[in-house]
Amino acid sequence: MIKKIDHQLMGRFHNSWLNTYYHFSFGDYYDAEKMHYGMLRVVNDDTIQPLSGFDLHSHKNMEILTYVVQGECTHRDNDREQTLKRGMMQLMSAGTGIAHSEVNMQDSLLRMIQIWIYPNELDLTPDYQLAALPWHERYNRWLLLASQRDEAPLHLHQDMNIYACELSDAAEIELKVMPLRQVYLVVLEGRVRIEDMLFDAHDGAGIDESTRLKAASWAHVLMFEMAKL
């Protein structure tokens, strides 16, 4: 089955500095049918105004990732300051507790995807990892960003594989789903076609069968591959 999650029907938040699409229940947005997808708990598509952002706040026992789509994100936590640019991804294993801020220090918009994943072990020692891979490595192919596999740039404490792909106009790519596995797809930019369905930027898709993606125009997507619960 392939289920389209239309961004126009997602939870929304908007104020003077933040515009967000919520793929799943978050904050004041609650939908009992959208609490998680497998072990994927949060996918927030955030656009942040210049010189604004999320001030220092804390988390425990969650795998927290940020993927930058546009602009630059300045990350600060207990131990470091790091600038993330387009296509970079960071992973915080919050474990027993981590405090961080994510701020747009530039004079242009920042768009980033914030991701929370349930860990497979609680009360881990907090950890930070960063992946800054060449953009061309995701061109018309799946680029592995995060996984519990040893070869992944970011090591997750969960049975999940996160990939990025940029598809050129009319390019196609296989999306293989193994038995007892499932995929959540996020269209970041452009448009893609899956079977007879068209997906626009900000849309999501729940997929539990092998299929193919075809770019209806240039497209940029994130793919979360995981076990079914």
Alpha helices in the chain (DSSP H): none
Average pLDDT over residues 126-134: 97
Contact criterion met (CB below 8 Å) for 99 and 58 = yes
Amino acid 112: pLDDT: 99
Amino acid 122: pLDDT: 98
Average pLDDT over residues 61-71: 99
pLDDT surpassing 90 at residue 70: yes
Return the closest-CA partner of residue 127 out of 99, 162, 91: 91
What whole-number distance in Å separates Cα of residue 117 and Cα of residue 209? Answer: 22
Q: Which residue range(s) make up the domain with 97?
A: 2-227
- Looking at the 3D structure of the chain, how many domains does it have? 1
Structure tokens at 176: 């293989």
Query: What CATH number does the domain containing 37 carry?
Result: 2.60.120.10
Q: pLDDT of 169-205, one tens digit each?
A: 999 999 999 999 999 999 999 999 999 999 999 999 9
- Which amino acid is located at 107 in the chain? D
Strands 127-131 and 73-77: unpaired
Amino acid 229: pLDDT: 87
Amino acid 78: pLDDT: 83
What whole-number distance in Å separates Cα of residue 78 and Cα of residue 172? Answer: 43
- Which amino acid is located at 118 in the chain? Y
- Model confidence band, residue 89 (pLDDT cutoffs 50, 70, 90): very high
- Which amino acid is located at 136 in the chain? H
Alpha-carbon distance values, 179 to 53, 78, 82, 148, 225 (Å): 41, 41, 39, 19, 12
Q: Considering the entire predicted model, what is its pTM?
A: 0.97
- Model confidence band, residue 93 (pLDDT cutoffs 50, 70, 90): very high
Arithmetic mean of pLDDT over the chain: 97
